[in-house]
Amino acid sequence: DVQLQASGGGLVQAGGSLRLSCVASGFTYDDYTIGWFRQAPGKEREWVSCISNTYGTTFTEDSVKGRFTISSDNAKNTVYLQMNALKPDDTAVYYCAADLSRRYSDFPPRRVTRYSYWGQGTQVTVSS
C-alpha cells in the first residue's frame, strides 16, 4: 500500500533551521507530485511547497519562498523540506502528501483535495 512518513520536526528558536523528510513507498509511478502542507492550531491546512516528478521542477508558496526549499533524493524515495530563518508563525504540524492523479491542469496543485495519500505529520514549533 502507499505510505508516506514525515519526520524531522522539533523545537527551534526563531531564526533557526530544520530539515523535514518524507519517505514514500508503495508506488512506482513516474508521474506524481509530492507536496508539503502545514496546519496550525485553529487554522485550515495550507499548501507550502511541492515537487513534481512529471515536470522535474519545484513550486513554493510565496510567503516562504527564499526560506524554504524542497528537494528530493529519488534513490532514497525521500523528499525534503529545508526550512531556514524560521518564524513563530511557521509553527504547525507539517504533512507530506502524494498527488497521483496525473491531472496536469491547475498546476501546481495547491488544494488539499488533489492529494490522495498523506503522511502522519511532524510537529514544528518555533519559539520567539
- Rounded to an integer, the average pLDDT of 81-86 is 98
Give me the pLDDT at residue 102, please: 84
Write down the mean pLDDT value for the chain. Answer: 94
Copy the grid coordinates of residue 41.
492550531
Is pLDDT of 12 > 90? Answer: yes
CB 50 within 8 A of CB 107: no
Measured over the CA atoms of residue 66, residue 25, residue 95 and residue 53, the dihedral's sign is positive
Give me the pLDDT at residue 2, please: 92
Determine the Cα–Cα distance for residues 112 and 73; give it in Å rounded to an integer.
Answer: 24
pLDDT tens track for 19-57: 999 999 998 767 889 999 999 999 999 999 999 987 789
Determine the Cα–Cα distance for residues 88 and 125; give it in Å rounded to an integer.
Answer: 7
pLDDT tens track for 50-67: 999 877 899 999 999 999
Give me the pLDDT at residue 37, please: 98
CB 56 within 8 A of CB 40: no
Largest interatomic CA distance in the chain: 42
What's the Rg (C-alpha) of the chain? 14
Contacts of 42 (CB under 8 A, 6+ apart): none
Give me the pLDDT at residue 122, please: 98
Give me the pLDDT at residue 44, please: 97
